[in-house]
Structures are given as structure tokens and as C-alpha cells.
Amino acid sequence: MIDTVYLGIYGRSKIDSVLNCCFSQQLCTEIDKSLYYGQKDNEDFYQATDQLGIFDQNSLITEDPYKECLSEESPEWKALLQITEGIERNIPSNGLVDESYRFVALKSNTADGYLLHLIPIYRGAKMINKTLGWKIKDLLTGQMGTAHVPLTVDFDKASSLNLDYCVVTTFRITLDDSQKLLSATEYVWNVTGHEYLFKLHEANRQIAKKIIGEFAAHSDGFLVSSDKYQVSLPDTEELFAVVKDDLRTINRLAKYRGGADDFDISKVKAANEKLNSVDRVLINDEKKTITVNKECIGTFTALIHNLLLERLISGDVEIPFKNHH
């Protein structure tokens, strides 16, 4: 059961504030009924956790949901510490309107701490001042360029709710005797949403840009197949400008650690042929080149990861990717 609802405000490099919305228990109960975890049919948190695998490096490439016990070295730890400290301060929002709101945090108390369900507020969400409070319009504006159904959420004293809350991450927080963060387990229901919320994608952008440059320069380890096909990228700057806000493409490029230069070219071709013609990369056997542009960059990021390549060939699992036609 949701006990308290908070708004998180990001500064340039850290979470500045976590504010208590001061909602009634009745309103928290209504919100609780609207939550789901990654997918529409995951409405029960405890049942949904049973379906999660343990985190490994492939989790960030395949975007399969996962769970992980965090440590102080985890990239989310510092932000999570700031969130828990903000919750402890318990500062009311007082109907403030702020364009920097980054997420909604929903707290559910447990015997030794609490569960914290996080929902990102995507860029483009509008904060509109109202007489009785404030309003977030189009709270979820979509990921990877694919819009969710627009939402309007009124947090007024006489609240009118139209909720479709997709939780992207849940933390199981354990507190010490002084009510400070002791340990945390994260349940990531939506990988791209999670990385957006914690600004992990911003570091990945620079890594992805470097990876694109390595393929364009035909560097060692950045060829495709044991037959050494070169990747032709006509305009790397234009390509990066197109994909820099495409979280899935950026993530898969940033997580590339080599290996495509050992692939069998016949497997690459087989996977490519499984796709619609508009989504295929152009493979030229005579010149041993693979031409990649914005129309097929999403396809390319799937083809260079062996696990995704095998899934494309088998057809057992649909691989989500985005091309920019």
C-alpha cells in the first residue's frame, strides 16, 4: 500500500530536493490501484518480482527486466542516498510549480524500511499552476520516440485522477537504527526508463559517439565478421545528432565491447533478411562493406551484439529497435 507520494527535483549533477506531496491516504490508495510494473499485466509487485532475472551485462543490451543488490559503487547509489535523505527531511511541496521535476516517488513502508516505486517525468511534461494546487500534464510523454497515451494528472484537493502509472524501478530500502540508508535492492522493470531517470544515458551518449567513430575509422575490433567487413557511415555527425536522444540505440552502442569481428557473415545476413526491407542494413559482398545510416542504425546496433543476433535469427524473441525513416 502506498503511504506517501514525493516529487524529485534534479539539479545539474544531483538531486536537489525530494518534496512530500502531502496526499491523503484515500488518494494514495487510488494511486496504488493504478500502478503497474513495466507491463500492463504486472499489477502485483510481489508476483512481478518472481519473474525477474539477476542482473548481468547482457541485461543492458537485451533490456530484459532484472534485479540487483546495490553497493556503494553502484551508479545509482549516490542518487538513492540523496532521495532517502530528502524523504527523511519530509519537506512539503506546498503546491510549488517547478520545471525541474524529474520523477514521482511512491513510498510503501515495510518492517525494516520501505519500498520506493519510481516513475520518471519525461522531458516536455508541463507544470501548470492552479488555484487549488498544481497539475502535471502528459506526465509520461513516451520513450524512444514512441508516445504513451497522454496522461493528465490533477493533484488537487478535490483530485481528479486519470492514472496509468508505469513504474520503471522499485527499490527495497533497508534502514539502520538512525533511519539512514543501510542497503538496497533494485528491481528494474524498464531499462531505458531507469537509465533516463538516473541520467545514466548522458554518460552513455559520449561513449556511443566514440563507438560510432571507431566503426567509421575501421579500427581494430570494429569490423564485422571474420571476413572483415567494413562499416560505412556516410555522415557520423549527422547520424549522432539523429540518435543522441534515442536511448535504446545509444545504450546498445555504449555497451559494445567488441566481438562482431568474429561473427560469421552468413549469420549477419540471415538476421538482416529476417527484417522488413526498409529496416535492413546494406551489405555489399564485393566491397565487403555494411552501409549504415539513420534508416537502419537501430538494426545495426542489434546485429553487433551476439545475443541479439541469435534472437533475430531464431525469431523466438522480437527485438525492439528504432530506425529513423
Predicted confidence (pLDDT) per residue in 36-59, tens digit: 998 888 899 999 999 899 987 677
Q: Please give the pLDDT value at position 103.
A: 85
Write the pLDDT tens digit of every residue in 95-114: 555 556 778 899 999 999 99
- Looking at the chain, the whole-number percentage of residues with pLDDT higher than 90 is 34
pLDDT at 274 > cutoff 80: yes
More confident of the two residues 145 and 37: 37
Which of 13-27, 54-68, 127-141 is predicted least confidently? 127-141
**Average predicted confidence (pLDDT) for the chain:** 80
Q: Please give the pLDDT value at position 54.
A: 93
Name, in order, each residue with C-beta under 8 angstroms of 202's C-beta and a sequence gap of 6 or more.
none
pLDDT at 302 > cutoff 90: no
Which pLDDT band holds residue 184 (cuts at 50, 70, 90)? Answer: very high
Rounded to whole angstroms, the Cα distance separating 165 from 234 reads 41
Which pLDDT band holds residue 127 (cuts at 50, 70, 90)? Answer: very low
pLDDT at 133 > cutoff 50: no
67, 74 in Cβ contact below 8 A?
no
Which of 11-20, 116-125, 142-151 reaches the highest mean pLDDT?
A: 11-20
Q: Please give the pLDDT value at position 148.
A: 37
pLDDT at 217 > cutoff 60: yes
Other beta carbons within 10 Å of 300: 25
Q: Please give the pLDDT value at position 95.
A: 54
**Which DSSP string corresponds to 64-121?**
--EEEE--TTSTTHHHHHHHHHHHHHTEE-TT---TTEEEEEEEEEETTEEEEEEEE-
Which pLDDT band holds residue 69 (cuts at 50, 70, 90)? Answer: very high
pLDDT at 265 > cutoff 70: yes
Q: Please give the pLDDT value at position 139.
A: 41
The CA distances from residue 227 to 200, 288, 300, 307, in Å, are: 35, 8, 17, 20
Q: Please give the pLDDT value at position 254.
A: 86
Which pLDDT band holds residue 134 (cuts at 50, 70, 90)? Answer: very low
Name, in order, each residue with C-beta under 8 angstroms of 40's C-beta and a sequence gap of 6 or more.
none
